[in-house]
Structure 1
Amino acid sequence: MPAILAHGPDGLTLALAGSAAGLSAATLLQRFRSREGLIEAILLRAWDRLDMETAKAIASAAPGAEGALALLQALLPKEKEESHMTDGLLLLREDFRNAALRQRGEAWGKVLATALETHLSPGRETGGRLGWQMLQIWQGALIWWAFSRTGTAEAYVMAALQDWCDTAGLLPGRRPH
């Protein structure tokens, strides 16, 4: 994936990708049929990796709001957070444009929201709202951090999520606002 991050989806050519992979552009063309097919394959592989990371984070998260917070914290980029936000948005644009990639994003969101809901409201019926709300706050906080660059992305996002949990009365021993 480094070649696509270095050049962006629009700047990635078969020659650049081939050079990064140690293959000829003709070999990549034969395998993927087009530059767009190569980009789709690269991004589908990135979704595979994210699905694996998500499953691991879900499996290791403790119950309750603290577990939901830890789950999302485990999915935050740990290094090069600035480039993850800026370059990542270029890749996300491709996910929006391509139906197969968009379906992967939608499926991932459902899995994550369901896991968060399970952690946040065991035994309560909220219709999945809490899980989706937490997921939306997580993603929104990442975007707002990218604008403000206040502290680290992790600290900024976790503070926003903890504030929402406090407001919703989800953290034991803490009073809702």
Structure 2
Amino acid sequence: YGDIESYAEGLLVLREDLRDPVLRARGAAWKAALSKVLADCFAGIPGMPQDIGLLMASHWQGSLLWWSFGPEMELTAYVEHSLKRFVAAITATSARTAAGPM
């Protein structure tokens, strides 16, 4: 992704991609494929939400946006930290759910 200027430039490209139905369809196919691959990574963990792959991808994309408003930290470090916190939270929640009421 690079620095904030590179990231912002990429958003301009995304804007154009969203206007093109063929590129938009390609993005939708990427979303489905990526969500499945991510969901497969959580397959052995009891209590995971059925749409965990999409949740993970959404968190990743959201972390990019939130980073852009205050890009003090290096981007990949920020996203990695954010995703690790997300996984820790979702797995802790699913473990509590799987354990049942206390």
Q: Establish whether residue 93 from structure 1 lines up as the match of residue 93 from structure 2.
A: no
Distance 2:14 2:90 in 1: 30
Change (3 A) 1:144 1:120: same
Which of these residues, 65, 83, 99, is aligned with residue 5 of structure 2?
A: 83
Q: Establish whether residue 108 from structure 1 lines up as the match of residue 30 from structure 2.
A: yes
Cα RMSD after superposing both structures: 2.1
Give the C-alpha shift of residue 81 in structure 1. Answer: 3.1
What TM-score do the two structures reach when normalised by structure 2?
0.80
Which of these residues, 124, 133, 142, is aligned with residue 64 of structure 2?
A: 142
What TM-score do the two structures reach when normalised by structure 1?
0.48
- Runs of 4+ with deviation above 2 angstroms: 80-84, 121-127
Give the C-alpha shift of residue 95 in structure 1. Answer: 1.1
1:148 match: secondary structure? coil
Give the C-alpha shift of residue 121 in structure 1. Answer: 2.2
- Give matches, 1:122-161, under 5 Å: 122=44, 126-127=49-50, 129-161=51-83
Distance 2:26 2:65 in 1: 21
Deviations 1:129-167 (A, max 9, x none): 110000000000011111110311111111111111111
Deviations 1:56-95 (A, max 9, x none): xxxxxxxxxxxxxxxxxxxxx3xx3323310000000011
Give the C-alpha shift of residue 118 in structure 1. Answer: 0.3
Distance 1:111 1:99 in 2: 18
Name structure 1 gaps, 5 residues minimum.
Answer: 1-76
Structure number with higher relative contact order (C-alpha < 8 Å, ≥ 6 residues apart): 2
Q: Which amino acid aligns with 1:110?
A: A
Name structure 2 gaps, 5 residues minimum.
Answer: 97-102
